[in-house]
Amino acid sequence: MGGGRPGHIPWIKKGNPRIDIFQFVDFLRLWGYVLTTAATLDLIQNSFFIAFCFYAAALGAVVMKRQVPGGMLLGAGCLCNGFSLAVRYWSSYPLLPLYQGAYFIPFVVGLFCARSLFKGEGSVIHGVLMVVLAGSALFFPNDFYLPFLQFKTVFAHGFFLLGVGGKALFLLAGAWAVLVLGEQDRGDRVKKMGTLVVWGYFLWTLSVFSGAVWAYLGWGAPIVWEDPLLVTTMATWLYYTLFLHLHLTGLNGVRSRAIFALLGALFVFLFNLVPELGIFMVPEIKL
């Protein structure tokens, strides 16, 4: 907008009291952008904080054996979380919120957990999983974006969104694995655990494929092994490839497969989710 001496108003020409209308409009646009950006960030943070409160309330309802109210509270949390994600994605598009997966995963997990609660199949472990995932994103925020031009491709967004879905299903499979290990009547829960792993593996494979195409288009190589994110992504894919061989062939018993699924969920949390978190911060509502 121009420099000048201190106290000089940039849209008033030197020696001329008339207003430079073009610089004045640019000035208003700049401040409008700043204010809009600040308001958008507050909206994102506030709506996610409200979602976390609903998730915590849903956990309390499940502990008190109120599964239907718990499902309703969980659904309300998913609505707030989804709204926060929509604004977050819209504000960064066409760039990619690559390290924002911690905010997306609770939403996907919450949809599945709410369905289980409404069907009377939910458990305290589902509520605990929701609070842990949402709390991790809330208290360890990592709100930054990398302005790479290579993000402007559908394969970059496919890598991110399909990976989020895969991680969410792997974590849910781990929650069902806990229930399998703690109950004698395991039949239906073993099937749910296996189904979640199969679909998680399917989404994860598509994510790896999309990431390979994205890397080739952006950097000229399908795999950039120097990137720790891609190394842990491939390690996760290999881990669940082994799990599916054990699960589908029935070479191991039910308990062994449940332990395998639980360890896989811990691996996903520690090596795929925790690296996306930031430093500890106490959240606050900004009005």
Give which of 155, 273, 266 is closest to 206, Cα–Cα: 155
Number of domains in the chain: 2
Q: Is residue 272 part of a domain?
A: yes
Which residue among 132, 147, 162 closes a domain?
147
Give which of 231, 128, 240 is closest to 178, Cα–Cα: 128
pLDDT, position 3: 45
Q: Is residue 128 part of a domain?
A: yes
196 shares its domain with 173? yes
Q: Is residue 31 part of a domain?
A: yes
DSSP 151: G
pLDDT, position 174: 94
Q: Is residue 7 part of a domain?
A: no
Which residue among 114, 147, 180 closes a domain?
147
What is the domain-level CATH number for residue 88? 1.20.120
155 shares its domain with 28? no
Q: Is residue 17 part of a domain?
A: yes
Spatial separation of the C-alpha atoms in residues 250 and 237, rounded to whole Å: 20
Q: Is residue 112 part of a domain?
A: yes
Burial (CB < 10 A; 0-12, 13-18, 19+), residue 65, is exposed
278 shares its domain with 257? yes
Residue span of the structural domain in which 195 resides: 150-287
- CB distance 113 to 130 below 8 Å: yes
Going residue by residue through the chain (287 aa), what tens digit of pLDDT does each one get? 444 444 444 444 455 545 555 565 555 555 444 444 556 777 888 899 999 999 999 999 888 888 888 889 999 999 999 999 988 888 777 777 777 889 999 999 999 888 877 777 767 888 899 999 999 999 998 765 554 556 677 888 899 899 999 999 999 999 999 988 887 556 688 888 989 999 999 999 999 999 888 888 877 777 766 777 778 889 999 999 988 887 677 667 888 888 999 999 999 999 999 988 888 888 776 65
Spatial separation of the C-alpha atoms in residues 100 and 58, rounded to whole Å: 24
Q: Is residue 3 part of a domain?
A: no
- CB distance 91 to 106 below 8 Å: no
Burial (CB < 10 A; 0-12, 13-18, 19+), residue 243, is buried
56 shares its domain with 76? yes
